[in-house]
């Protein structure tokens, strides 16, 4: 798993959910950098797959600390659904927030790492 995943900052559009949630992206499948257009199309397909969720997903963008690399994603409430979608969109990992703590879950090994309080990773 790319070590950069541990060094992330996150922007959530809207009120941070008080319940547990995951952040799933469709950008850059298999850890390979895709074109902006390919990522945009993949993001739209993921958004379409989330269209019927209640409550509706929020935009959540993971990025490098200098914000030069950004991967827009979406909040997903159910952990099993998050893992399924992450695998469907060929992601290496997803983020999970439980009780205000950010975790990193590798999808190919199910390795789970606690990163720390979500508030320490948020940018506005």
Buried b (16+ CB within 10 A) or exposed e, 48-84: ebbeeeeeebbebbbbeeeeeeebbbbbbeeeeebbe
Q: Is the pLDDT of residue 112 over 80?
A: yes
82 Rama class: left (phi>0) / alpha (psi -120 to 50) / beta: alpha
What mean pLDDT is reported for the chain? 94
Q: Is the pLDDT of residue 124 over 90?
A: no
Domain hosting 24: range is 3-121
Residue-wise pLDDT tens digits, 53-104: 888 899 999 999 999 999 999 999 999 999 999 999 999 999 999 999 999 9
For residue 92, the model assigns a pLDDT of: 97
């Amino acid at each position: 798993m790319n070590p950069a995943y541990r060094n992330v900052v996150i922007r959530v559009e809207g009120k941070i959910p008080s319940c547990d949630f995951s952040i799933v992206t469709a950008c850059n499948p298999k850890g390979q950098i895709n074109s902006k257009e390919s990522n945009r199309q993949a993001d739209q397909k993921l958004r379409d797959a989330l269209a019927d969720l209640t409550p509706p997903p929020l935009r959540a963008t993971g990025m490098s600390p200098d914000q030069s690399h950004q991967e827009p994603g979406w909040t997903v409430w159910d952990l099993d659904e998050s893992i399924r979608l992450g695998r469907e969109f060929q992601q290496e990992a997803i983020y999970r927030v439980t009780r205000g703590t950010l975790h990193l879950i590798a999808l190919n090994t199910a390795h789970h790492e606690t990163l720390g309080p979500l508030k320490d990773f948020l940018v506005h």
